[in-house]
Amino acid sequence: MQNQKVVRYYDSYDEASRLTSDRARRLEFITTTRILEKYIHEAAAIFDVAAGSGVYTFYYADKGNAVTAVDITPKHAALIQKRIERDAYRNVPAQVADATDLSGFASELFDVVLCLGPLYHLQNPEAQRQCIRECLRVLKPGGLLAAAYINRSFIIPHLAGQAPEYLNREFITSVQHQGYVDSDDQADFFASAYFHTPEEVEALLAEEQVEKLTHVATDGCAFFMREQMNQWSEEQYQIWADYHLSTCEERTLLGYSNHGLYVGRKAISSR
């Protein structure tokens, strides 16, 4: 049922433009790739779990990496496959797969696993652990895991500022204390969404013996400045992006960012 809600939501959502539609969203992509370039080398074999329409898949494929892409939404896998065929990519296989069951892939196969979406939608803590365990299983010892999440402390003020119907005690209490909205009356995204705290993500990864390399406020306060940001000159936007990149790893800034990014290394002896 949960998976059906996720698929239904993304069937009607334009994920292809999410990271490029405006400057606030673009900052998430800029930050993620800038941080990961410190750790990903050009020969690394990358597994893009929940690849969406393939924004990161093709970014790294264009840099020369072999990238395997999977997504639970058939529409996304088809979009990726269409581009593979159109642009004659030879280093990008794609297929439909659930992030909690990657049994179609051998253990210790990849140098890097990008888990940049599954944690948004796994409301059950055991499903979250299973997702991380599967990502680690297919990752080589010492390999890199990048896991993204939506920040619980961001989502409440953001939604309250967007629409008054979210400013109700039931919604706020549900998100604040359990990380999700327990109601089938919600739109598909919120009915299937989970919002983490930075501490919760760190505990989840530590439990699975992942060595923390960095923890990043991926887009910072960009969404609270969205209208102004889209009116800036390109030079002004670049000044802000440079400032953001120079501060995004400061721990005090994690709480107000829409997205967070945890980057860690699989322990040599990890299961």
Residue with token string 């501060």:
247
Predicted local confidence at residue 13, as pLDDT: 44
**What is the C-alpha to C-alpha distance for residues 27 and 30, in angstroms, rounded to an integer?**
5
Residue with token string 């896991």:
147
Predicted local confidence at residue 188, as pLDDT: 54
Please compute the mean of the pLDDT values over residues 215-220 and round it to a whole number. Answer: 96
The secondary element (H helix, E strand) that includes residue 213 is strand 210-217
| pLDDT digits 0-9 by tens, 70-126 | 999 899 999 999 999 999 999 899 999 999 999 999 999 999 999 999 999 999 999
Over the chain, what is the mean pLDDT?
A: 89
Nearest to 151 by CA among 222, 91, 208, 212: 222
**What is the C-alpha to C-alpha distance for residues 69 and 94, in angstroms, rounded to an integer?**
5
Predicted local confidence at residue 180, as pLDDT: 87
Of the ranges 2-6, 143-147, 247-251, which one carries the lowest mean pLDDT score?
2-6
Q: Where are the domains of the chain?
A: 2-266
- Domain 2-266: state its class: alpha beta
| pLDDT digits 0-9 by tens, 149-206 | 999 999 888 888 888 888 889 888 989 999 987 655 555 556 778 999 999 999 999 9
Strand 259-266 and strand 210-217: the pairing is antiparallel
Q: What is the pTM of this model?
A: 0.89
**What is the C-alpha to C-alpha distance for residues 217 and 224, in angstroms, rounded to an integer?**
14
**What is the C-alpha to C-alpha distance for residues 142 and 145, in angstroms, rounded to an integer?**
9
- Longest CA–CA separation in the chain, Å: 52
Q: Which long-range contacts (C-beta less than 8 Å, at least 24 apart) are formed by 37-42?
A: 39/112, 39/144, 39/213, 39/263, 40/65, 40/111, 40/112, 40/144
Rg over CA atoms, the chain: 18
- DSSP E strands in 27-168: the ranges are 45-49, 66-71, 94-96, 110-115, 139-150
